[in-house]
Amino acid sequence: MRCFGDGDPLYEEYHDTEWGVPVRGDTELLERFCLEAFQSGLAWITILRKRPAFRTAFAGFDPEVVAGYGDDDVARLLADAGIVRNRAKIEATIGNARAVVALHDAGRTLTELVWSHAPDVRVRQPRATRFDEVPATTPESVALARSLKGAGFRFVGPTTAYAAMQACGLVDDHLAGCPVVAG
């Protein structure tokens, strides 16, 4: 039995091939952090189902393009039924893209910033057997959220940062009985 996603082919595919796999690249990480922010208060499957529309609406999460979005783009996105239409989250995504561009202008990358907060131990031993044994935050996710906010990111508290760390493979929280671990 998977950690999550059993019974929905899209969710199963995400669990088996993406969740916990290391992600590098500023565009890829910007997408993951922005989608984690959009997920706040919703089920992750909702975001997965809308992910193709998010990618279209936000130009594949190209930081340079999204950083240039203005009021007309916000209005367009608020009218796009294919995505989650939340003004604060839309504006945060644009702001996060601008933060990535600012990192680049300073000679830094989002990849370096994020991965500098990877814990020394990627897989806790023994592995958790139930999700209530997995933390919602860690000292590393608190520090990552602080660094991201310091760089200008929004909608990145310690819990969202930890969810992104799990999704982007900085940590591997697959449960002990998961077929991904056993495979």
Question: Known catalytic residues?
Answer: 14, 36, 44
Question: What string of H, E and C letters represents the secondary structure of 47-96?
Answer: HHHHHHHHHHHCHHHCHHHHHCCCHHHHHHHHCCCCCCCCHHHHHHHHHH
Among 126, 128, 167, smallest CA distance to 144 is for 167
Among 32, 86, 89, 94, smallest CA distance to 63 is for 94
Cα distance from N-terminal residue to C-terminal residue, the chain: 12
**Hey, what are 67's tokens?**
């950083």
